[in-house]
Structure 1
Amino acid sequence: MLLELQEISLSYGRIQALHEISLTVDQGEIVALIGANGAGKSTTMRAVSGLRPVSHGKIIFDGQDITKLRADLRVVRGVSQSPEGRGIFPGMTVRDNLEMGAYTRRNRVEINKDLDRAFSLFPRLKERERQMGGTMSGGEQQMLAVGRALMSRPKLLLLDEPSMGLAPMLIQQIFDIIVEINQQGTTILLVEQNAQQALSRAHRAYVLETGRIVKSGTGSELLSDPSVKDAYLGVA
């Protein structure tokens, strides 16, 4: 098991956002978190990446308790996040944005290999290598955010709403690349409002409602679950 959340709770001031959430991610899996806006999906990601402290429970990563570990040290351990809203550096070139993803690393040969890998996964980024990140389209910025997260060579890649704001054709492309990244050996925890796309690619998934896990199963089980279809897939 690569990641285990043990009954974690998290609050924003007096508002409790997560209520004793427990979930696991095994090595080599794509695990999806689905749910409505405000369900606690992105908050769960922030707890895993260390951007928000938990008030209760434990986070175990690769056999180690990282509950109290700083966010930057989690990156060193192998946790990397492509955040909701992309969060690229608009005044830096595509290449410099990617290089920033490798800030914890020193081996130039290995960093160059991973740059080549990012350009192979996202040929558009190679074409725009010297372009400023802020001048690119939303889809290109999303590719850049994922590429940058991969530059730390993570054991676990956290993807928060990778399809947000993208045209349907680009959504398909991003999800195909997510599967390719996983097949190359990277474990993925995915938060996504596009439940159809997420569940059709995920090995397993959890459904969050108001900070609680209300369902879990394989991607295909949840795709065919009547209540999930009704609530998240737009079909009765």
Structure 2
Amino acid sequence: MKMLLEVEDLQVNYGHIEAIRGVSFSVPEGTVTSLVGANGAGKTTTLKTVSGLRKVRGGAIRFQGEDITHLAPFERVKRGISQSPEGRGCFPGMTVSENLDMGAFLRKDRKTAAYREDLERVFTLFPRLKEREKQAAGSMSGGEQQMLAIGRALMSRPKLLLLDEPSMGLAPKLIQQIFTIITEINEQGTTVLLVEQNAAQALKRSHDAHILETGEIVRSGKGAELAVDPAVKAAYLGGDV
């Protein structure tokens, strides 16, 4: 299977603190790959480093075979990497429509049918956003803002979608809905790298998964296999479930 993203011996520091210590993993094209772990394990730092928001101390990041280790974040967006950040990061004073347009800021085809098709794709995935098209993002619920953050990331037409804690702070019913939509996005052809504390949902939806602890990958495998691994179940799934 063709590898879309390859991370090799990644090392990232916060000052003198080692946040990521020799992390290596690959994301096969067309899959959902998850990074699972507790708070402080290094999941978000890894994702930010892939998107160019954290500097690399050591190691390499390759996307479609090209070394992007030191590329600026906007150059990575141009190549097809887009992120929905932890905490959603919606522009509160801007409308849903304006937020979605910000996701396409590097596109030069905003007046074309292709752009309108991508907008309709987002509205089909998230009908609530169509209903709230002219509403300020800051007046929306947490679940609606999460939908907007994912929709905004999709507007750059990414090959690789980075999702950072999409279920954080959401009610159980909304969590299920968000993960169902993540699966649908993947089935439509977008590769997904998912960072998630909700290990049960993440492993259920993932082709491949990696368990992070204190900046290191301690276990890797198929999502379905890790979901029934006794050690993983004891640590992240509440024992026998």
**Corresponding residue for 2:34?**
32
**Corresponding residue for 1:94?**
96
182-191 or 106-115: bigger deviation: 106-115
**Matching residue within 125, 131, 136 for 2:129:** 125
**Matching residue within 19, 43, 46 for 2:45:** 43
User: What is the CA-CA distance between 1:105 and the residue it aligns to?
Assistant: 0.3
Give deviations 1:134-191, integer Å, cap 9, x for gaps. Answer: 0000000000000000000000000000000000000000000000000000000000
Residue aligned with 2:163, SS: strand
**Corresponding residue for 2:164?**
160
Measured in 2, the distance between the counterparts of 1:186 and 1:203 equals 13
**Corresponding residue for 1:79?**
81
Identify unmatched segments of 5+ residues in structure 2: none
Which residue type is aligned with residue 50 of structure 1?
G
**Corresponding residue for 2:57?**
55
Give deviations 1:182-227, integer Å, cap 9, x for gaps. Answer: 0000000000000000000000000000000000000011000111
**Matching residue within 185, 190, 193 for 1:186:** 190
Measured in 1, the distance between the counterparts of 2:10 and 2:224 equals 27
Which residue type is aligned with residue 148 of structure 2?
L
Which residue type is aligned with residue 41 of structure 2?
A
Measured in 2, the distance between the counterparts of 1:218 and 1:104 equals 35
1:171 has 2:175 as partner: yes
Residue aligned with 1:52, SS: coil
Residue aligned with 1:171, SS: helix
Which residue type is aligned with residue 117 of structure 2?
K
Residue aligned with 2:39, SS: coil
Give deviations 1:47-70, integer Å, cap 9, x for gaps. Answer: 100000110000000110000100
Give deviations 1:14-60, integer Å, cap 9, x for gaps. Answer: 00000010000010010000000000000000110000011000000
Root-mean-square deviation over aligned CA pairs? 0.5
Residue aligned with 1:81, SS: strand
Query: TM-score, normalised to structure 1's length?
Result: 0.99
**Matching residue within 1, 13, 16 for 2:15:** 13
**Matching residue within 213, 216, 221 for 1:212:** 216
Which residue type is aligned with residue 129 of structure 1?
E
Measured in 2, the distance between the counterparts of 1:65 and 1:219 equals 27
Measured in 2, the distance between the counterparts of 1:27 and 1:48 equals 16
1:105 has 2:107 as partner: yes
Measured in 2, the distance between the counterparts of 1:33 and 1:10 equals 16
**Corresponding residue for 2:227?**
223
User: How many residues are aligned here?
Assistant: 236
User: What is the CA-CA distance between 1:235 and the residue it aligns to?
Assistant: 1.6
Which residue type is aligned with residue 74 of structure 1?
R
Residue aligned with 1:39, SS: coil
Measured in 2, the distance between the counterparts of 1:231 and 1:184 equals 33
Q: Which runs of 4+ in 1 moved over 2 A?
A: none
The sequence identity of aligned pairs, in percent, is 65
Which residue type is aligned with residue 115 of structure 1?
L
Query: TM-score, normalised to structure 2's length?
Result: 0.97
Identify unmatched segments of 5+ residues in structure 1: none
